[in-house]
Amino acid sequence: MASVNDLAILEVVIKRAAAYLTDPPRGSDPVISFASPTALADALTASVGMELADRSDQHSVDDVLASVEQVIEYSMHTSHPRFVNQNFAAPDPISVVGDWLGAALNTTGATFEAAPVFTLMESAVLSKLGRLAGYVESESDTLPELPPGLFCAGGSMGTLLALQLARHRWQPDITTSGANGDRLVLFVSTSGHYAAAKSAALLGIGTDGAVEVATDHEGAMIPVALNAAIDDARAAGHTPFAVIGTAGTTVTAAFDDLEALADICKSSGLWLHVDGCYGGSAMFSPQQAWQLRGVDRSDSCVWNLHKMMGMTQQCTALLVKDPPS
Protein backbone atom coordinates (compact mmCIF):
# COMPACT_ATOMS: atom_id res chain seq x y z
CA MET A 1 0.00 0.00 0.00
CA ALA A 2 1.34 3.40 -0.95
CA SER A 3 2.27 5.83 1.82
CA VAL A 4 0.64 9.27 2.14
CA ASN A 5 3.77 10.82 0.63
CA ASP A 6 3.71 8.26 -2.19
CA LEU A 7 0.08 9.09 -2.89
CA ALA A 8 0.88 12.78 -3.11
CA ILE A 9 3.72 11.99 -5.53
CA LEU A 10 1.47 9.77 -7.62
CA GLU A 11 -1.12 12.52 -7.81
CA VAL A 12 1.25 15.22 -9.09
CA VAL A 13 3.08 12.94 -11.52
CA ILE A 14 -0.14 11.55 -13.00
CA LYS A 15 -1.54 15.05 -13.39
CA ARG A 16 1.61 16.29 -15.11
CA ALA A 17 1.94 13.24 -17.39
CA ALA A 18 -1.73 13.53 -18.35
CA ALA A 19 -1.31 17.21 -19.18
CA TYR A 20 1.71 16.40 -21.32
CA LEU A 21 -0.24 13.71 -23.14
CA THR A 22 -3.35 15.75 -23.87
CA ASP A 23 -1.58 19.03 -24.57
CA PRO A 24 1.92 18.21 -25.87
CA PRO A 25 4.52 20.71 -27.12
CA ARG A 26 3.76 22.03 -30.60
CA GLY A 27 4.13 25.05 -32.87
CA SER A 28 6.91 27.32 -31.69
CA ASP A 29 7.65 25.13 -28.64
CA PRO A 30 11.15 23.64 -29.02
CA VAL A 31 11.38 19.99 -30.16
CA ILE A 32 14.21 19.62 -27.66
CA SER A 33 16.06 21.85 -25.19
CA PHE A 34 19.43 20.28 -25.67
CA ALA A 35 22.02 20.20 -22.89
CA SER A 36 25.35 18.40 -22.74
CA PRO A 37 25.58 15.42 -20.36
CA THR A 38 27.52 17.49 -17.82
CA ALA A 39 25.20 20.48 -18.01
CA LEU A 40 22.19 18.18 -17.74
CA ALA A 41 23.57 16.32 -14.73
CA ASP A 42 24.30 19.69 -13.09
CA ALA A 43 20.80 21.00 -13.82
CA LEU A 44 19.15 17.90 -12.35
CA THR A 45 20.90 18.37 -9.00
CA ALA A 46 18.39 21.18 -8.44
CA SER A 47 15.66 18.55 -7.95
CA VAL A 48 16.34 14.90 -7.09
CA GLY A 49 19.66 14.61 -8.94
CA MET A 50 21.45 11.66 -10.49
CA GLU A 51 23.51 10.69 -7.46
CA LEU A 52 22.38 7.39 -6.06
CA ALA A 53 23.98 7.27 -2.67
CA ASP A 54 23.89 4.27 -0.37
CA ARG A 55 21.39 5.97 1.89
CA SER A 56 19.22 9.02 1.45
CA ASP A 57 15.96 10.37 2.75
CA GLN A 58 12.83 10.20 0.65
CA HIS A 59 12.53 13.18 -1.65
CA SER A 60 9.79 15.72 -1.05
CA VAL A 61 6.78 15.94 -3.32
CA ASP A 62 8.01 19.34 -4.52
CA ASP A 63 11.42 17.95 -5.44
CA VAL A 64 9.86 15.07 -7.34
CA LEU A 65 7.55 17.39 -9.26
CA ALA A 66 10.48 19.68 -10.06
CA SER A 67 12.38 16.63 -11.32
CA VAL A 68 9.44 15.58 -13.51
CA GLU A 69 9.39 19.07 -15.01
CA GLN A 70 13.09 18.74 -15.79
CA VAL A 71 12.67 15.28 -17.29
CA ILE A 72 10.05 16.76 -19.61
CA GLU A 73 11.96 19.95 -20.34
CA TYR A 74 15.15 18.20 -21.40
CA SER A 75 13.61 15.23 -23.23
CA MET A 76 12.99 14.91 -26.96
CA HIS A 77 9.36 15.81 -27.69
CA THR A 78 8.55 12.96 -30.02
CA SER A 79 4.92 14.08 -30.31
CA HIS A 80 5.91 17.49 -31.64
CA PRO A 81 4.76 17.93 -35.26
CA ARG A 82 8.30 18.99 -36.15
CA PHE A 83 9.89 15.86 -34.68
CA VAL A 84 11.11 13.90 -37.71
CA ASN A 85 12.97 10.60 -37.33
CA GLN A 86 13.43 7.58 -39.59
CA ASN A 87 13.15 5.09 -36.74
CA PHE A 88 9.92 5.97 -34.99
CA ALA A 89 7.27 8.65 -34.81
CA ALA A 90 4.81 10.29 -32.45
CA PRO A 91 2.75 7.76 -30.52
CA ASP A 92 -1.02 7.93 -30.78
CA PRO A 93 -2.12 9.14 -27.31
CA ILE A 94 -4.58 6.22 -27.24
CA SER A 95 -1.60 3.87 -27.52
CA VAL A 96 0.09 5.69 -24.64
CA VAL A 97 -2.85 5.22 -22.26
CA GLY A 98 -2.99 1.58 -23.34
CA ASP A 99 0.60 1.37 -22.13
CA TRP A 100 -0.41 3.09 -18.90
CA LEU A 101 -3.07 0.51 -18.21
CA GLY A 102 -0.64 -2.28 -19.03
CA ALA A 103 2.01 -0.83 -16.70
CA ALA A 104 -0.52 -0.50 -13.86
CA LEU A 105 -1.59 -4.14 -14.29
CA ASN A 106 2.07 -5.25 -14.69
CA THR A 107 1.24 -8.72 -16.00
CA THR A 108 3.67 -10.94 -17.87
CA GLY A 109 2.62 -12.20 -21.28
CA ALA A 110 4.38 -15.54 -20.75
CA THR A 111 1.21 -17.61 -20.24
CA PHE A 112 -2.54 -17.26 -20.67
CA GLU A 113 -3.00 -17.94 -16.95
CA ALA A 114 -0.81 -14.97 -16.00
CA ALA A 115 -2.31 -12.51 -18.48
CA PRO A 116 -5.59 -13.80 -19.97
CA VAL A 117 -6.70 -10.52 -21.54
CA PHE A 118 -3.35 -9.45 -22.91
CA THR A 119 -2.37 -12.84 -24.39
CA LEU A 120 -5.76 -12.93 -26.12
CA MET A 121 -5.17 -9.40 -27.43
CA GLU A 122 -1.72 -10.39 -28.65
CA SER A 123 -3.25 -13.32 -30.54
CA ALA A 124 -5.96 -11.14 -32.03
CA VAL A 125 -3.53 -8.47 -33.23
CA LEU A 126 -1.04 -11.02 -34.60
CA SER A 127 -3.88 -12.78 -36.43
CA LYS A 128 -4.94 -9.49 -37.97
CA LEU A 129 -1.36 -8.81 -39.07
CA GLY A 130 -1.05 -12.39 -40.31
CA ARG A 131 -4.18 -11.89 -42.45
CA LEU A 132 -2.71 -8.69 -43.91
CA ALA A 133 0.49 -10.56 -44.77
CA GLY A 134 -1.47 -13.39 -46.34
CA TYR A 135 -0.12 -15.90 -43.78
CA VAL A 136 -3.57 -16.62 -42.30
CA GLU A 137 -6.84 -17.25 -44.14
CA SER A 138 -8.36 -13.84 -44.70
CA GLU A 139 -11.90 -15.22 -44.34
CA SER A 140 -11.27 -16.47 -40.83
CA ASP A 141 -12.38 -14.22 -38.01
CA THR A 142 -11.90 -16.80 -35.27
CA LEU A 143 -8.74 -16.83 -33.21
CA PRO A 144 -6.24 -19.58 -34.06
CA GLU A 145 -5.05 -22.06 -31.44
CA LEU A 146 -1.67 -20.44 -31.60
CA PRO A 147 -1.03 -16.94 -32.96
CA PRO A 148 1.11 -16.76 -36.13
CA GLY A 149 4.10 -15.29 -34.31
CA LEU A 150 4.82 -13.11 -31.33
CA PHE A 151 5.61 -9.57 -30.28
CA CYS A 152 9.22 -9.04 -29.37
CA ALA A 153 11.64 -6.40 -28.17
CA GLY A 154 12.57 -4.64 -31.41
CA GLY A 155 13.18 -5.43 -35.04
CA SER A 156 16.71 -6.78 -34.53
CA MET A 157 15.34 -9.32 -32.06
CA GLY A 158 12.62 -10.35 -34.53
CA THR A 159 15.18 -10.87 -37.28
CA LEU A 160 17.44 -12.85 -34.91
CA LEU A 161 14.59 -15.21 -34.03
CA ALA A 162 13.48 -15.57 -37.65
CA LEU A 163 17.01 -16.50 -38.75
CA GLN A 164 17.27 -19.02 -35.92
CA LEU A 165 14.06 -20.65 -37.20
CA ALA A 166 15.43 -20.64 -40.73
CA ARG A 167 18.65 -22.30 -39.58
CA HIS A 168 16.67 -24.78 -37.49
CA ARG A 169 14.60 -25.83 -40.51
CA TRP A 170 17.76 -26.25 -42.53
CA GLN A 171 19.75 -28.18 -39.95
CA PRO A 172 17.69 -29.10 -36.86
CA ASP A 173 20.54 -30.82 -35.03
CA ILE A 174 22.38 -27.49 -34.60
CA THR A 175 19.94 -26.76 -31.77
CA THR A 176 21.32 -29.66 -29.75
CA SER A 177 24.81 -30.41 -31.08
CA GLY A 178 25.85 -26.94 -32.26
CA ALA A 179 27.36 -25.62 -35.47
CA ASN A 180 29.49 -28.22 -37.21
CA GLY A 181 31.81 -25.88 -39.08
CA ASP A 182 29.71 -25.71 -42.29
CA ARG A 183 29.79 -22.11 -43.52
CA LEU A 184 26.12 -21.13 -43.47
CA VAL A 185 25.32 -17.96 -45.39
CA LEU A 186 22.34 -15.65 -45.68
CA PHE A 187 21.75 -12.85 -48.18
CA VAL A 188 20.64 -9.28 -47.63
CA SER A 189 20.94 -6.22 -49.84
CA THR A 190 23.69 -3.65 -49.38
CA SER A 191 20.90 -1.27 -48.31
CA GLY A 192 19.51 -3.75 -45.77
CA HIS A 193 19.60 -3.27 -42.02
CA TYR A 194 22.62 -4.20 -39.90
CA ALA A 195 20.34 -6.49 -37.91
CA ALA A 196 21.37 -9.13 -40.46
CA ALA A 197 25.06 -8.91 -39.57
CA LYS A 198 24.33 -8.57 -35.83
CA SER A 199 22.18 -11.69 -35.95
CA ALA A 200 24.81 -13.60 -37.92
CA ALA A 201 27.39 -12.73 -35.25
CA LEU A 202 25.13 -13.80 -32.38
CA LEU A 203 24.04 -17.02 -34.08
CA GLY A 204 27.67 -18.07 -34.50
CA ILE A 205 27.37 -17.80 -38.28
CA GLY A 206 29.67 -14.79 -38.35
CA THR A 207 29.27 -11.48 -40.13
CA ASP A 208 31.07 -12.90 -43.18
CA GLY A 209 28.05 -15.19 -43.49
CA ALA A 210 25.74 -12.21 -44.07
CA VAL A 211 26.46 -11.73 -47.75
CA GLU A 212 25.52 -8.36 -49.20
CA VAL A 213 23.78 -8.28 -52.57
CA ALA A 214 23.95 -5.29 -54.93
CA THR A 215 21.02 -2.90 -55.23
CA ASP A 216 19.59 -0.81 -58.05
CA HIS A 217 19.62 3.00 -58.11
CA GLU A 218 16.62 3.15 -55.76
CA GLY A 219 18.18 0.85 -53.18
CA ALA A 220 16.25 -2.36 -53.96
CA MET A 221 18.05 -5.69 -54.24
CA ILE A 222 18.83 -6.77 -57.83
CA PRO A 223 17.34 -10.28 -58.18
CA VAL A 224 19.89 -11.50 -60.74
CA ALA A 225 22.63 -10.38 -58.36
CA LEU A 226 21.00 -12.51 -55.65
CA ASN A 227 21.01 -15.52 -57.96
CA ALA A 228 24.66 -14.93 -58.75
CA ALA A 229 25.54 -14.53 -55.06
CA ILE A 230 23.84 -17.84 -54.23
CA ASP A 231 25.74 -19.56 -57.04
CA ASP A 232 29.01 -18.02 -55.90
CA ALA A 233 28.45 -19.13 -52.30
CA ARG A 234 27.70 -22.69 -53.37
CA ALA A 235 30.73 -22.71 -55.66
CA ALA A 236 32.85 -21.66 -52.66
CA GLY A 237 31.51 -24.62 -50.69
CA HIS A 238 29.27 -22.52 -48.45
CA THR A 239 25.71 -23.38 -47.47
CA PRO A 240 23.01 -20.78 -48.28
CA PHE A 241 20.01 -21.06 -45.97
CA ALA A 242 18.10 -17.75 -45.97
CA VAL A 243 17.40 -14.53 -47.82
CA ILE A 244 16.29 -11.29 -46.18
CA GLY A 245 14.06 -9.16 -48.37
CA THR A 246 13.88 -5.57 -47.20
CA ALA A 247 10.49 -3.86 -47.34
CA GLY A 248 11.47 -0.26 -46.78
CA THR A 249 15.20 0.43 -46.43
CA THR A 250 16.29 2.82 -43.70
CA VAL A 251 17.81 5.42 -46.01
CA THR A 252 15.69 5.48 -49.19
CA ALA A 253 12.61 3.43 -48.17
CA ALA A 254 13.26 1.09 -51.09
CA PHE A 255 11.25 -2.13 -51.37
CA ASP A 256 12.88 -5.31 -52.64
CA ASP A 257 10.86 -7.21 -55.27
CA LEU A 258 9.48 -9.88 -52.94
CA GLU A 259 7.86 -11.87 -55.77
CA ALA A 260 11.23 -12.23 -57.48
CA LEU A 261 12.92 -13.10 -54.19
CA ALA A 262 10.22 -15.67 -53.39
CA ASP A 263 10.77 -17.31 -56.79
CA ILE A 264 14.49 -17.56 -56.13
CA CYS A 265 14.00 -18.87 -52.59
CA LYS A 266 11.52 -21.46 -53.81
CA SER A 267 13.85 -22.78 -56.49
CA SER A 268 16.86 -22.69 -54.14
CA GLY A 269 15.09 -24.09 -51.08
CA LEU A 270 15.93 -21.03 -48.96
CA TRP A 271 13.94 -19.38 -46.17
CA LEU A 272 12.61 -15.95 -47.15
CA HIS A 273 12.50 -13.49 -44.26
CA VAL A 274 10.96 -10.08 -44.90
CA ASP A 275 12.41 -7.17 -42.94
CA GLY A 276 9.34 -4.94 -42.99
CA CYS A 277 10.39 -3.04 -39.86
CA TYR A 278 10.16 0.25 -41.68
CA GLY A 279 7.74 -0.38 -44.56
CA GLY A 280 5.60 -3.30 -43.37
CA SER A 281 2.84 -0.95 -42.32
CA ALA A 282 2.19 -0.27 -46.03
CA MET A 283 0.17 -3.50 -45.82
CA PHE A 284 -2.52 -1.47 -44.07
CA SER A 285 -2.86 0.79 -47.09
CA PRO A 286 -4.92 -0.24 -50.14
CA GLN A 287 -2.84 2.27 -52.12
CA GLN A 288 0.59 1.09 -50.92
CA ALA A 289 0.20 -2.62 -50.14
CA TRP A 290 1.47 -3.52 -53.65
CA GLN A 291 4.95 -2.52 -52.47
CA LEU A 292 5.01 -5.78 -50.48
CA ARG A 293 3.53 -7.97 -53.20
CA GLY A 294 4.87 -11.48 -52.60
CA VAL A 295 5.10 -11.16 -48.82
CA ASP A 296 2.46 -13.92 -48.57
CA ARG A 297 5.05 -16.28 -50.07
CA SER A 298 7.67 -15.47 -47.42
CA ASP A 299 8.39 -17.66 -44.40
CA SER A 300 8.65 -14.90 -41.82
CA CYS A 301 8.15 -11.19 -41.57
CA VAL A 302 8.99 -8.62 -38.95
CA TRP A 303 7.52 -5.17 -38.67
CA ASN A 304 7.62 -2.29 -36.26
CA LEU A 305 4.25 -0.81 -35.42
CA HIS A 306 5.97 2.04 -33.55
CA LYS A 307 7.28 3.45 -36.82
CA MET A 308 4.11 4.24 -38.77
CA MET A 309 1.15 2.95 -36.78
CA GLY A 310 1.34 5.28 -33.80
CA MET A 311 2.28 2.63 -31.27
CA THR A 312 4.64 3.39 -28.40
CA GLN A 313 8.14 1.90 -28.57
CA GLN A 314 9.03 -0.93 -28.97
CA CYS A 315 6.14 -2.64 -30.70
CA THR A 316 7.60 -5.26 -33.03
CA ALA A 317 5.59 -8.10 -34.55
CA LEU A 318 7.38 -11.21 -35.77
CA LEU A 319 5.13 -13.29 -38.02
CA VAL A 320 6.01 -16.88 -38.92
CA LYS A 321 4.02 -18.74 -41.53
CA ASP A 322 4.88 -22.30 -40.66
CA PRO A 323 7.21 -22.60 -37.65
CA PRO A 324 9.57 -25.59 -37.91
CA SER A 325 8.86 -28.14 -35.18
Using CB under 8 A as the binding rule, the residues of this chain from 87 to 116 that contact a copy of itself are 87-88, 90-91, 93-94, 96-101, 103-108, 110, 112-116
2 binds a copy of itself (CB under 8 A): yes
Name 75's Cβ contacts closer than 8 Å, sequence gap at least 6: 32
293 binds a copy of itself (CB under 8 A): no
Stretches 198-206, 216-224, 249-257, 264-272: which one binds a copy of itself (CB under 8 A)?
Answer: 198-206
Residue number with CB closer to a copy of itself (70 or 298):
70
Max Cα separation, the chain?
73
Residue in 46, 146, 202, 289 binding a copy of itself, rule: CB under 8 A: 202
Instruction: Give yes or no for a contact between 164 and 203, defined as CB atoms under 8 angstroms apart.
Output: yes
Residue in 181, 217, 236, 251 binding a copy of itself, rule: CB under 8 A: 181
Name 25's Cβ contacts closer than 8 Å, sequence gap at least 6: 31, 77, 79, 80
Q: Long-range contacts for 260-264 (Cβ within 8 Å, ≥24 apart)?
A: 260/223, 260/294, 261/221, 261/223, 261/226, 261/294, 262/294, 262/297, 262/298, 264/223, 264/226, 264/227, 264/230
What's the min distance (Å) between Cβ of 272 and a copy of itself?
21
7 binds a copy of itself (CB under 8 A): yes
Q: Give the DSSP letter string of 205-268.
A: S-GGGEEEE-B-TTS-B-HHHHHHHHHHHHHTT-EEEEEEEEBS-TTT--B--HHHHHHHHHHH
Question: What is the sign of the dihedral through the CA atoms of 272, 307, 148 and 135?
Answer: negative
Total residues binding a copy of itself (CB under 8 A)? 101
What's the min distance (Å) between Cβ of 160 and a copy of itself?
7
Residue number with CB closer to a copy of itself (22 or 325):
22
Rounded CA gap, 312 and 307, in Å? 9
Report the site for a copy of itself in 224-283 (rule: CB under 8 A).
none
57 binds a copy of itself (CB under 8 A): no
Stretches 49-57, 228-236, 248-256, 270-278: which one binds a copy of itself (CB under 8 A)?
Answer: 49-57
The binding track of 29-48 with respect to a copy of itself, each residue x by CB under 8 A or -, is ---x-xx-x--xx--x----
- Closest by alpha carbon to 71, among 50, 51, 92, 53? 50
Stretches 77-85, 229-237, 272-280, 292-300: which one binds a copy of itself (CB under 8 A)?
Answer: 77-85
Residue number with CB closer to a copy of itself (177 or 325):
177
Name 22's Cβ contacts closer than 8 Å, sequence gap at least 6: 93
> For residue 221, what are the β-bridge partners?
215
Report the site for a copy of itself in 117-136 (rule: CB under 8 A).
117-118, 120-121, 124-125, 127-128
Residue in 70, 189, 215, 300 binding a copy of itself, rule: CB under 8 A: 70
What's the min distance (Å) between Cβ of 46 and a copy of itself?
14
Phi, psi of 302 (to 5 degrees): -125, 135
Residue number with CB closer to a copy of itself (85 or 267):
85
Stretches 147-155, 215-223, 247-255, 295-303: which one binds a copy of itself (CB under 8 A)?
Answer: 147-155
Name 287's Cβ contacts closer than 8 Å, sequence gap at least 6: none
